[in-house]
Amino acid sequence: MKEAVRVKGVSKSFGKKEVLSMIDLTVEAGQIYGLIGPSGSGKTTLVKMIVGMDVPTQGEVEVLQTKVPHLSLLQNIGYMAQSDALYPELTGKENLTFFASLFKLKKEEQKQRIAYTANLVDLTSHLSKKVAAYSGGMKRRLSLAIALIQNPQVLILDEPTVGIDPELRLSIWNELMRLKNEEGKTILVTTHVMDEAEKCDRLAMVREGKVLTSGSPKELKEFYHATSLEDVFLKAGGSKNENVGSN
């Protein structure tokens, strides 16, 4: 299978502080790949370098066999940041229309994508409200809709379900599964939530800027003789970098 994302020997420092240290990871096309780790472990920094918003101090990143950053990748990467980048004075629909207009979409396709993404995140009946009047969860949902607007091949979602109620969280995960299974999308997601991590095909557990271990949830639990992913995390924390899975 082809690689959708390749991170090769990436380190990142801010001033003298090294935040990421020699990260290697590969996301196969058509996988859901989870980055899990405590707050401050470096997940967002890594994600920003994968989408081309920040530059590694060392190493390089490729997405769809193209070295990041590259203009051609904008159409193919949908990015949902941790903090919402929305226009509060515009309505939900105007926000979606604005972001859709940045991409090469025909008028009819643009309309369809707006309707589809709004429905996916359950915002259809709120589209004419100003975003300033949205709750935190609604803003997260709109950000997710925007990440999907141009129908990108690769989705990079930084804690997409924070502040979203359990029912909608489940429906968003069901949709991510559908996007993977039926449309062959590649999805890289950061999360703190272990039951979301269980749904990923592969995981990398990150702590203090290093990948502690990686593999499928099943492989990780077997390797560490652990009953849960929390347990894997605790056990992996005490050992050297392990690559449990096949890559």
Ligand X SMILES: Nc1ncnc2c1ncn2[C@@H]1O[C@H](COP(=O)(O)OP(=O)(O)OP(=O)(O)O)[C@@H](O)[C@H]1O
Q: Which residues bind ligand X (CB under 6 A)?
A: 14, 19, 37, 39-45, 82
Residue 37, classed as helix, strand or coil, is coil
Q: How far is the CB of 224 from ligand X (least distance, A)?
A: 21
Question: Between 17 and 104, whose beta carbon lies closer to ligand X?
Answer: 17
Query: Under a CB-based contact definition with an 8 Å cutoff, are residues 207 and 45 in contact?
Result: no
Distance (Å, whole) CA 70 – CA 86: 24
Q: Please state whether beta strands 66-67 and 58-63 pair in parallel, antiparallel, or not at all (unpaired).
A: antiparallel
Closest CB to ligand X among 50 and 127? Answer: 50
Q: Which residues of 44-81 are buried (b: 16+ CB within 10 A; e: fewer)?
A: bbbbbbbbbebebeebebbbbeeebeeeebbebbbbbb
Q: Which is nearer to ligand X, 37 or 160 (CB)?
A: 37
The nearest distance, CB 43 to ligand X, in angstroms, is 4
For ligand X, give the closer residue by CB, 53 or 177.
53
- In angstroms, what is the minimal distance from the CB of 38 to ligand X? 7
Residue placing its CB nearer to ligand X in the complex, 21 or 243: 21
Q: How far is the CB of 45 from ligand X (least distance, A)?
A: 3
Least spacing, CB of residue 56 vs ligand X, in Å: 13
Which position has the token pair 């990871």?
25
Q: How far apart are CA 126 and CA 143, in angstroms?
A: 14
What's the CA gap between 4 and 27, in Å, rounded? 6
